[in-house]
Amino acid sequence: MVSSPRAANTNRKSALIVSETQVNRIVVSRIVESTGMKTLSMTPPQALGQPQQQLFSLVVIDGEPGMALAAEIIKQYSTGPHLTDAGKPAIIFLSTSMTLPEGIETDAIDAVVAKPLTPDRLEAEVVRLTSGALG
């Protein structure tokens, strides 16, 4: 697991949930909302097309098999001239293993949460990474 206080330096209280499947978007959104955050759920193509004016304190990416756009989404939300260190969202990657797929930079990920997903594990990471944003 990687640890970063990026989101703790923001006062935003919103999370972007990215998954191919609607059921996963709903489940993950409900878990994140239980921590007090507002969520916006998108498919991977929608997330890549999201205007950068919308800043999130957290991005949760479902690394389901066949999620070819994961690396592009992570890059979009972790780098770029529109982001400052304080404005970069924390990124949680949901994975069936504790290793990241090829092409994903480990320094861009703040936490990997293993699947099958449990509310306790995801909630703990959300709170840890966004404690300053939820104040």
pLDDT of residue 53: 55
Q: Where are the domains of the chain?
A: 6-130
Instruction: Reply yes or no on domain 6-130 having CATH 3.40.1080.10.
Output: no
Q: Which of 5-9, 80-84, 98-102, 130-134 has the lowest mean pLDDT?
A: 5-9
Q: In what order do the strands lie in the sheet with 38-42?
A: 38-42, 14-18, 58-62, 90-95, 111-114
Give the mean model confidence (pLDDT) for residues 21-28.
96
pTM: 0.84
Confidence band, pLDDT 50/70/90 cuts, at residue 76: confident
Q: What angle separates helix 22-33 from helix 119-130, to the nearest 10 degrees? A: 60
Residue 12 backbone dihedrals phi, psi, to 5 degrees: -80, 150
Amino acid 29: pLDDT: 98
Element at 14 (helix H, strand E): strand 14-18
Q: What are phi and psi of 119, to 5 degrees?
A: -55, -40
